[in-house]
Structure 1
Amino acid sequence: MSRTDLTRGPSRGPAPAPRRAETRSAEGKLPLAALLALTTAVFITSLTETLPAGLLPAMGGDLGVGESAAGQTVTVYALGTVLTAIPLSTATAGWRRRRLLLTAMAGFAVANTVTALSTSYPLTMAARFAAGVAAGLAWALLAGYARRMAPAHLQGRAVAVAMAGIPVALSLGVPAGTFVGKVTGWQTAFLVMTGLTLVLLAWIPAAVPDHPGHRPEKGSSPSMLGALKVPGVAPVLTVTLVFVLAHTLLYTYIAAFLDRLGMGGRADAVLLVFGGASLTGTWAVGALINRRLRALMITGTLLVAVAGVVLALFARSPALVYGAVVLWGLGWGGVPTLLQTAAGDAGDAGGGQADAAQAMLVTLWNVAMAGGGVVGGLLLDAFGTGALPWSVPILLVPVAAVVVAARTHGFPARRA
């Protein structure tokens, strides 16, 4: 992402708000109010995607379709992100960042409201696709925005604070949304999301500093192809695709896996443990990422791989299942921060290609999530739930190889 300075103010008179934010960063402090606003934006983006998972029976009944068809509201959301993240990121590269963030969040407010009020399945699907479009815009923006708010030595920590919205959404948001949906109706859960988004739309102008977009100079290569030519971008994207695929294969069908073990009634507790461990992993990555990005990426890969092996070999022991889930959460929790930071670093080194690299990362992330659901389903049908944990270490072997090989670019021993 470009390190373009904030718009210069006049030489005399009070400095504008963005300049004040820049001064705070220069003093070595994180702008927590602004970063927590981004955390909330990440929370809304993550929860909007996953909320239907706990509400499918009620949604399907009210929309007059089966649970399988209702489940496609998650698929079409991912499709909206995959199809639009790259072109929208390119088209809005020159927009000021706060304006772009407000636009994306307004998209969530409209889409979730329409979803809540709709009694038509096609209209609901259209609203969910629109929410996916807003998500593509948001994901391509948020990590880079967090980086630009912080001084260089705290950029990784800033991204970690923003990305903490993901495990919070998974560990607390989904269970809370499911509870609200069961008590008051699934429509209320989506309306609560709209209300939270409206609060955020007021919060952003009050607390989040503005930054200019990045308009590439003539003769430069701002395209996705140009970003792929930057050393380090391709390894980061490869790791993103395969790591997220490995995680999603198991996470999507964790309830079915636990049910086979006779632990189906403990699925909520297992997911809560996973969420808590993920938050701990996110915190650890935020504290160490500036000096240890490469080591953290290798450690996270090994922890998730070991968790897969334990679940494959010792799943009959509930204690070992919980232990494996803790390892899984610790390893996975910081992965979004690590990959977003690595992509941003590589893109910055390539002369302002961070936005393009982030957009491709978002697209591949969602491709991997959709692929994980499909491939996991095929494995489930062909070999049963016992095959799912084995897929994790098998896929993470090449991930570890790429991370180790990308010592100079992508996952360097020392961050610039």
Structure 2
Amino acid sequence: MTRTSEPESRTERLPLLSLLALATAVFVTSLTETLPAGLLPSISQSLSVSESAAGQTITIYAIGTALTTIPLTVITAGWRRKRLLLLSIIGFLVANSVTAVSSNYELTMVARFVAGMAAGVAWALLAGYARRLVPEHLQGRAIAVAMAGIPVALAAGVPLGTFIGKEFGWRVAFWAMTVIAVILVAWIAAFVPDFPGQGRGNRASFNRTITTPGVGAVLFVTLTFVLAHTIFYAYIASFLDSVGAGDQVDVALLVFGLACLISIWVVGAKIDRTLRLLAITATVLFAIAVTALGLAGDTPIVLYSALFLWGLAWGGAPTLLQTAVGVAGGSVADEAQAMLVTLWNVAMAVGGVIGGLLLSGVGPNSFAWAALVILAPTLLVIVLAKRHGFAAAPKLDDAGNKDDAGNKLDADEIHAR
């Protein structure tokens, strides 16, 4: 039998040069989204709008992702993967450049919407790209390397970008993102292998995707887990201020970010064999953390211990959820990833609204109990999804297809044979 659909890049070693390029793409995506949060006063002054209006540059990014991910995934299903990845990074390059030069609020919002569209394409693509670079038994680890860009952006990128913005101006921070995007385009073009799209004849409908066993469970957990996180994290500064730690926001976020880095390392090392256990552990740790914050967040040792546990729960979550939906989705993994990205951004937008209502109506201590209520059904679904979605070990596809080494084939390999 001849293998024609995959480059000869599948080895027993992780292709780090390619995976680190994907991790940098994840970093660019995450940092482009969150960078304005640390620069709102400067942005609002420069654009002659309120800080609240400047904050909508983050909201419009999420809306751009949520509204366009699924349609763009359908439209580009047959495109070569490398071409699509490069176009998404070029989208960031253009959007961040326009943001850096714009003195008009409306133009800036359009640029941020375009950046959100690019993010939707990238997020729907990157996890699947990482999986296709390696054999099945290394797929979880490959996704973990690619997703490492998220905690790096949280722990280092946002603080560094904020520092650059304060010292040299917020526009310089966005120009720095453009420079990174230029370098990344060259990196991907030179060193990341290409893969075929699904082809129009094999393009599965999203109705089929949502009814694939396990996909619905993973999507539900994605929605609720991210919702619980966003309700609290979006207003973490307000919570810290309420417990007498308002002057320690940078330290608190550093503790959280370092725990995220540890989490992504642990998840990357263990996910291929213990995805189910890791998902349950992350949810339980998150529940313990928010409970501790709600009961005794004004005690420093409890505060920082809880933030550390929360970081351990959150850092590996993107890897866990994208691996789970990829395994459950099988031949419709790209569509499943697109749904996950959409729900992720919906949860962020809704979480921001709910958190704001709780803050103004009840107070910041309510964040913990709202998150805990949401995490209860999250844990229940993970526990019940023991056959599909959060199985003890990766499952075969419905046809039981394996390659000569015993690894599951993706749709392109099966079609090629």
- 2:290 paired with 1:292: no
**Is 2:260 aligned against 1:278?**
yes
Among 94, 107, 127, the alignment partner of 2:91 is 107
User: 2:290 aligned to 296, 302, 308, which one?
Assistant: 308
Counterparts of 1:2-81 in structure 2, within 5 Å, are 6-7=4-5, 18-19=7-8, 21-22=9-10, 25=11, 28-81=12-65
Match of 1:253 among 212, 235, 248: 235
Q: Which residue of 1 aligns with 2:409?
A: none
Matches within 5 A, 1:10-409: 18-19=7-8, 21-22=9-10, 25=11, 28-215=12-199, 217=201, 222-348=204-330, 352-409=331-388
Q: Would the aligned equivalents of 1:6 and 1:211 in 2 still touch at CA under 8 Å?
A: no
- Residue 206 of structure 2 contacts residue 335 of structure 2 at CA under 8 Å; is this kept in 1? yes
Identity of aligned residues (%): 59
The letter for the 2-side match of 1:103 is: L
**Amino acid corresponding to residue 40 of structure 2 in structure 1:** L
Superposition misfits of 4+ residues, deviation over 6 angstroms: none
Structure 2 CA distance for partners of 1:7 and 1:256, relative to 1, 3 Å = same
* Deviation of the 1:345 alpha carbon: 0.5
State TM-score, norm by structure 2.
Answer: 0.93
CA distance in 1, matches of 2:203, 2:383: 29
Determine if contact 1:29/1:151 at 8 Å carries over to the other structure.
no
User: CA separation in 2, counterparts of 1:49 and 1:312?
Assistant: 28
CA distance in 2, matches of 1:69, 1:400: 36
Gaps of 5+ in 2: 396-417
Q: Provide the aligned length of Structure 1 versus Structure 2.
A: 394
Paired amino acid for 1:308:
V
**Is the alpha carbon distance of 1:328 and 1:287 closer, same or farther for their aligned partners in structure 2, counting shifts above 3 Å?**
same
Deviations 1:261-285 (A, max 9, x none): 1111111111011011011111111
Tell me the secondary structure at the aligned position of residue 349 of structure 2. helix
1:6/1:212 contact within 8 Å kept: no
The Cα shift of 1:221 comes to 6.5
SS in 1 for 2:195: coil
Q: CA deviation at 1:55?
A: 0.7
Contact 2:77 2:203 in 1 (8 A): no
RMSD of Structure 2 on Structure 1 (CA): 1.2
TM-score, normalised with respect to structure 1: 0.93
**Aligned twin of 1:12:** none
Q: 1:6 to 1:377 in 2, by over 3 A?
A: farther
Find the residue that maps to 1:150 and give its secondary structure.
coil
The change in CA–CA distance for 1:5 and 1:399 in structure 2 (over 3 A counts) is farther
Q: 1:249 deviation in Å?
A: 0.6
State the Cα deviation string for residues 12-51 of structure 1 (Å, max 9, x = none).
Answer: xxxxxx32x23xx2xx110000000000000000000000
Mark the runs of 5 or more structure 1 residues left unpaired by the alignment: 9-17
Deviation at 1:7, TM superposition (A): 3.7
Provide, for residues 100-151 of structure 1, a one-character-per-residue CA deviation record: whole Å limited to 9, x for no partner. Answer: 1000000000000000000111100000000000000000000000000011
